[in-house]
Amino acid sequence: MAKYWQESPPILQEFLNYHASILSHSAKTVDEYFLDLRSFFRYLKVRRNPALSQTPFSEISILDVDLEFVSQTQLSEIYGFLTFLSGGAPAGKAESSTRARKCASIRSFYHYLCVHAHQMEQDPTQSLNNPKLRKTLPRYLSLSESIQLLEAVSGPNEVRDYCILTLFLNCGLRVGELVGLNVQDIREDTVRVLGKGNKERQLYLNEACLEAIQAYLVVRPEPKEELRHKNALFVSRNKTRLTTRAVENIVQKAVRQAGLDPKYSPHKLRHTAATLMLNHGVDIRTLQDVLGHENLGTTQIYTHISDANMKQAVEANPLSRVKKREE
Question: What is the set of active-site residues?
Answer: 174, 196, 267, 270, 293, 302
**In this structure, what DSSP letter does residue 221 have?**
P
Residue-by-residue DSSP string for 100-161: HHHHHHHHHHHHIIIIIS---S--TTTTPPPPPPPP-PPP---HHHHHHHHHH--STTHHHH
Question: What is the helix (H) or strand (E) element at residue 169, kind and residue range?
Answer: helix 158-171
- Answer whether 299's CB lies under 8 Å from 284's CB: yes
Rg of the chain over Cα atoms, rounded to whole angstroms, equals: 24
Distance CA 234, CA 180 (A): 9
Which one, of 268, 236, 237, 271, lies nearest residue 255 by Cα? 268
Residue-by-residue DSSP string for 248-279: HHHHHHHHHHTT--TT--HHHHHHHHHHHHHH
Question: What is the helix (H) or strand (E) element at residue 37, kind and residue range?
Answer: helix 27-48
- Answer whether 233's CB lies under 8 Å from 185's CB: yes
**In this structure, what DSSP letter does residue 203 have?**
E
**Cα–Cα separations (whole angstroms), residue 122 to 45, 73, 111, 116, 230:** 21, 10, 10, 13, 50
224 Cβ neighbours under 8 A, 6+ residues apart: 230, 239, 240
145 Cβ neighbours under 8 A, 6+ residues apart: 258, 260
106 Rama sector, left if φ>0, alpha if ψ -120 to 50, beta otherwise = alpha
Biggest alpha carbon distance in the chain?
84
